[in-house]
Chains A and B, each alone.
Chain A
Amino acid sequence: MTRQGPVPAAGTAGVIKLAIMAVGGQGGGVLTGWIEDLARANGHACQATSVAGVSQRTGATMYYIEMAPAGERTPVFALMPAAGDVDILIAAEWMEAGRAIIRGFVTPDRTVLIASTHRIHAVSEKAQPGDGIAPAEEVAAAARVAARAVIAADFDAAAVAEGSVISAALFGGLAAAGVLPFPRAAFEAAIRGSGGRGAEASLRAFAAGFEAALAGAAAEAGGSAAAGAGAGAGRLRAVRGPARLVAEWDRLAARAAALPAPVAGMAAHGLRKVVDFQDPAYGADYLGRLDSVLARDDPAQGWLLTREAARHIANAMAYDDVIGVADRKTRGQRFARIRAETGAAEGALVRVTEYFHPRAEEIVGLFPAGLGARIAASPRRMDRIGRWFGRGRRVRSDGVAGFLLLHALAGLRGWRRRTLRHAGEVAHLEAWLDAALDFLPDYGLAVEAIRARRLVKGYSDTHARGLGKFDRVLEGMRMVRGREDAADWGRRLIAAALKDEEGKALDGALATVRSFL
């Protein structure tokens, strides 16, 4: 963006220019009102503007305030912020802080950026089948360069914890920033002055925002990136259970720990997942499969192939079937967790209703493999089963009848290895592993083929589409096999498959592959 150089601000000396960038519905109007009241009550002339309208509804929106000490004459204030001419920028969401930087409202000579690090994901981020979340750290890096000072904290969490909304916490952050010439008590008076039953909660959120801002400013000064999201290493809790099972578990865990260092950590997680899904014997199967991959792996490559296999084999073995869903819905901690999430008061009841829509495939998947396969081969029978069972069902899982049903389904765990679904999953798993290892000695391509398992996820139609994409990606990998850049193409095909639901990007990528063959 081209911009005029620094220009004398003599004409507006003494004016404080403050812009608020928010997402519609965050209460930016309320915050603006408080700031106006604050300024006017403390001897300042003040003007605020906004562009309400449809941008209120979940879209990016902006409020703008100017103030100056009141005198005989009325100052001429601007109605919108200008690039390079903003003293305080309040961003009520982290990407809105990024938008402010793009628009030039945050400049190193003057702007104090007060921003909430929480995210409200845009539709374009969350609609992708893969991980479309915009990288928060890029905004953090830009903010450090663009702003005179950054005060970043999760003001939304601070407000929600006090039963209030972010506007009050941001007002606290503004007070803590010390950029307006008014004491903290004057800020609180503005909240009280606006009245309403919510004033007490707002004052608590104000205080929480005040503290969060001080902590956020300290963190920024310490040089740590204030805004960071991302998966942690995943802590593992101790295992409890009957002595016999714990002993079995310990043997398995020791086996996993004995794997090469780069693999062991991931294998420990994977082992937990599959044992939790089924039983220790299933865990032994898992480790056996890892061993067979390890036997073909290359230590010079840092055991990357086995490490990736440890991840994806675990996911494949812990597939999502009716038994597993019922099991997870009836675990002991679940009701306590849901109750805590609702914030229900002592004495209030929490009723939980599950939304299910089983299809004939799920029902028949529970049948013994032989019988199930015969039924699944007959469209007429599948139709009939679909008519009997395949409709939307709402189950009150906190109630006696609903819980008993789910509990009983979860109890079919011992039966699982004999089901049609299991047979199908095992066949797919083995075909996939064979195909991946078949790409060796192209190590990179084999790793990508392991990673392609990521595409198989979801339920029913989504699952079917995922399988289809998985097949096409593997087919594409076979086409590029033997090329030097085969692994790069494998990675590109996976990324394309995760871009959209229908697989348009994947079609394009495959067409490109065919064009140079």
Chain B
Amino acid sequence: MAERSFRAEVEHLRKGAGEIFTGEGILAITKALLENGVGYVGGYQGAPISHLMDVLADAQDLLAELGVRFEANANEAAAAAMLAASVHYPIRGACTFKGPVGVNVASDALANLSSSGVTGGALVIVGEDYGEGSSIMQERTHAFAMKSQFWLLDPRPDLPSIVKAVGDGFALSEASNTPVMLMVRIRACHVTGSFICRDNVRPQLSVEKALSAPRSDFARVVLPPMSYAHEIDKVKNRRPAAERFVVERGLNETFGPAQSKVGIVLQGGMYNGVVRALQRLGLADLYGDTQVPLLVLNVTWPLVASEFLDWAAGKEAVLVVEEGQPDFIETQLGAFLYRAGATVRLHGKDVLPMAGEYTGQVMLDGLTAFLKAAAPELLPAQVRAPNLDRPPVPDLTRTVPIRPPGFCTGCPERPIFAAMKLVEKELGKHQISADIGCHLFGALPPFEIGGATMGYGLGPAANGAFDGGGERRPVSIIGDGGFWHNGLSSSFTNMVFNRSDGVALIVDNYYSAATGGQDLMSSRAKNPTKATGHPIAEALKGVGVGWIRQVDRTYDVGRMRDVLREALTTQAEGPKVVIASSECMLNRQRRERPLRQQAIREGRRVEAPRFGVDEDICTGDHACIRLSGCPSLGLKRLDDPLRDDPVAHIDTSCVGCGNCGEVAEAAVLCPSFYEARVVHNPGRFEAWRARVAARLRGWLTARRAARRLDFAG
């Protein structure tokens, strides 16, 4: 981990009974794992659950004291597979990744685990990346729980509820011999709040001790005929046990009056949004005391028919608040009502949208529509007959530019895509597939390199159909994260085995950078608990890639362009792989900036470069920006009536990576760029030499100025 230290957060994990924890939801989950006697934890990083991984990685001392094993897994499949330890041993285990993409990767292991069943509690913590700020396709993890028959928790999004769900999840898992998934939405992972801690608990049986008394039972193996028995066991025993547990322990909650003609049944994660809508309608107070009955499903799979029917009895209409599609819960609840011969009217996706996040406005509109239809007398008069009298606000939708995420200032990936763009100017447009990671921003303007992504580690595999080659070679792009996640096997062995003629470009920035800078196999940093320093090139050679070029300073745009051109034109057979390596600038700056400041204060010699544009040389054509897109390279309007267009301008956030100068040089753009390198605490000789040069410059400049008109004042 190069990015930062989580020592302060680790201290939170040591809190004892009665102490108050205040912080983020995902960190509360981490603490709750330790309070519930977890024996091992694994996972794969990704928003919004990276924090859990980062903090545990920094908490090695605490974990060692408790006898807990922490594993930074190679990918989500590996993380889920680790839960196999809970199949035979009464050890509580947990793993975490983001959903639904991580769940997709993990689904093989999750399906096998669900078939085998578990002895110790097995908890899968999924950060559901849905709605605003999400970086992935919009799907639901819910379907996996249904198909594999593991149980899905969706707790109310406040810290005490989330923490309670961790303990409930382990207990439910053990009571029903079934893995349990705890789903937390992106905002709930980052929500702040407080809860009262309990003491951390050592696992009843540690994984280390389990190795001294190995167990096996062929009845747990997923082979016929046991696999048939597993399926029967799921529906005959495990699910009824789970339903009993849900009802007896009251995992789902009810709020509001017992008698009412209407009610709302909702996913636990929707609770705050529903209450806010009720608050705005004057039907709930600040503390959630509501006039409309609520059935809060903290367990969204399995659904318990009896519990729902009891609650719905006597009501005329019920609204289901279920975010995302398809409407699994609404369909199931409808079937319950129909089978019971009930006459309750069921609303849901008729008043709420089928797709998209349930934002404040969506929720308010949906609840209002439901209540207008089912119980208009509950609504305040204003809502029943809205009287909108506001001055119209000018429409800004055509004024405000979109601002998608992009490469950071000084990002070493920017010059790679600038080089790609230059090569395409020479050789024409190519078929390009991309992977998952920061490099995917290359698909956006100003680069527009790459057209599709098929998943993590699958960039080169996504070009499989083109492996046979043609007039122009197919190009694929993959990051070092994707390479080690499963790219080596799924993409590169696939290329070698199929004698691909394609070009693969590996963007190696030393970390799993997009997820927060976690170390990888090929990271250069020394990590006390992980084996780093395994070069990607060695792995490629090992699987039989013959043509490998490594560029160790991506900012050298000219060399980057030449290597890419060579890969696209060489006569060599088989896959052509270019490894473009430079450290993630965000991580590098976070590490180096404080060190540099300290060195300057201590009087040591430090060079600090940054770049600038001579505004009287820049003509305002912005060609440099179209090959860069750097956030620090913006525009500036000049105070000169002769000029029409704003000129390029570099602001103080420049980190001096040199990309703009290199691009201007490689693309033969213009001579406006200069590097200004500040030498702090210079040596005596260089200071003397600089004084001599300055004197000479001064003399020459003054001499010439004396013979011409000076307009600058």
Contact = CB atoms under 8 A, between A and B. Distances in A.
A124 B409 CA distance: 17
Contacts of A331: 701, 712
Contact of A127 (B132, B271, B622, B640): B622
Contacts of A131: 644-646
Contact of B709 (A57, A245, A334): A245
Given A125-B635, A400-B692, A357 B622 contact: no
Contacts of A292: none
Nearest to B283: A11
A58 B394 contact: no
A5 to B, nearest CB: 3
A8 B646 CA distance: 48
Nearest to B696: A400
A135 interface: yes
A328 B639 contact: no
Nearest to B284: A11
25 contacts: A11-B278, A11-B280, A47-B193, A53-B47, A57-B586, A78-B272, A82-B364, A95-B400, A98-B400, A125-B635, A139-B400, A229-B637, A234-B641, A237-B711, A238-B713, A266-B642, A273-B642, A275-B711, A348-B682, A349-B679, A350-B677, A350-B679, A356-B665, A461-B667, A461-B669
A101 B276 CA distance: 21
Given A311-B642, A460-B669, A123 B629 contact: yes
B232 interface: no
Contacts of B661: 353, 355
B249 interface: no
B710 A239 contact: yes
Nearest to A195: B8
A169 to B, nearest CB: 14
A74 B129 contact: no
A230 interface: yes
Contacts of A273: 642
B25 to A, nearest CB: 9
A231 B640 contact: yes
A111 B124 CA distance: 41
Given A53-B47, A102-B400, A239-B709, 11 more contacts: A57-B406, A77-B272, A127-B622, A130-B645, A234-B639, A239-B711, A329-B617, A348-B678, A403-B697, A462-B669, A501-B623
A289 interface: no
A85 B391 contact: no
A199 interface: no
B707 A242 contact: yes
Contact of B286 (A11, A107, A325): A11
Nearest to B405: A59
Interface in B422-455: 438, 441, 444-446
B152 interface: no
Interface in B644-677: 644-646, 652, 661-662, 664-671, 673-677
Interface stretch (A336-344, A364-372, A423-431, A473-481): A336-344
B671 A354 contact: yes
A68 B404 CA distance: 33
A355 B671 contact: yes
A458 B669 CA distance: 8
Contact of A135 (B134, B359, B399): B399
Interface centre among A46, A58, A334 (most CB of B within 10 A): A58
Interface residues of B, number: 145
A320 interface: yes
A101 B394 CA distance: 9
A272 B157 CA distance: 66
Contacts of B211: none
A354 B396 contact: no
Nearest to A410: B704
Nearest to B385: A5
A397 interface: yes
B610 A458 contact: no
Interface in B227-284: 271-273, 275-276, 278-284
A279 B708 CA distance: 8
A128 interface: yes
A314 B642 contact: yes
A42 B167 CA distance: 33
Contacts of B634: 119-121, 126
Nearest to B129: A53
Nearest to A147: B393
Contacts of A84: 361
A242 B186 contact: no
A301 interface: no
Contacts of A458: 619, 621, 623, 669-670
A7 B47 CA distance: 35
A145 B700 contact: no
Given A101-B396, A501-B623, A56 B673 contact: no
B423 to A, nearest CB: 15
Contacts of A85: 280, 360
B612 A79 contact: no
B664 A355 contact: yes
B619 A5 contact: no
Interface in A75-132: 75-85, 95-96, 98-99, 101-102, 104, 107-108, 119-131
Given A49-B190, A52-B190, A354-B671, A249 B709 contact: yes
B674 A354 contact: yes
B631 interface: yes
A280 B708 CA distance: 10
Interface in A206-242: 229-235, 237-242
A23 interface: yes
Contacts of B387: 5
B187 interface: yes
Given A99-B400, A407-B700, A355 B675 contact: yes
B133 interface: yes
B119 to A, nearest CB: 36
Contact of A58 (B187, B408, B641): B408
A352 B275 CA distance: 61
B390 A108 contact: yes
Given A50-B190, A357-B664, A126 B625 contact: yes
B282 A10 contact: yes
A492 interface: no
A400 B693 contact: yes
Contacts of A5: 382-383, 386-388
A110 to B, nearest CB: 12
A13 interface: yes
Given A51-B186, A239-B711, A328-B617, A338 B47 contact: no
B332 interface: no
A398 to B, nearest CB: 6
A345 B445 CA distance: 38
Contacts of A7: 280-282, 364, 380, 382-383
A348 B406 contact: no
Given A78-B272, A119-B634, A338-B674, A59 B669 contact: no
Interface string B196-221: 00000000000000000000000000
A139 B396 contact: yes
B355 interface: no
Nearest to A9: B280
A25 B278 contact: no
A59 B382 contact: no
Contacts of A141: 394
B444 A6 contact: no
Contacts of A125: 401, 635
Interface in A135-159: 135, 138-139, 141-142, 145-146
B223 interface: no
Contacts of A280: 709
B471 interface: no
A36 interface: yes
B687 interface: yes
A411 B700 CA distance: 11
Contacts of B670: 320, 458-460, 462
B693 A459 contact: no
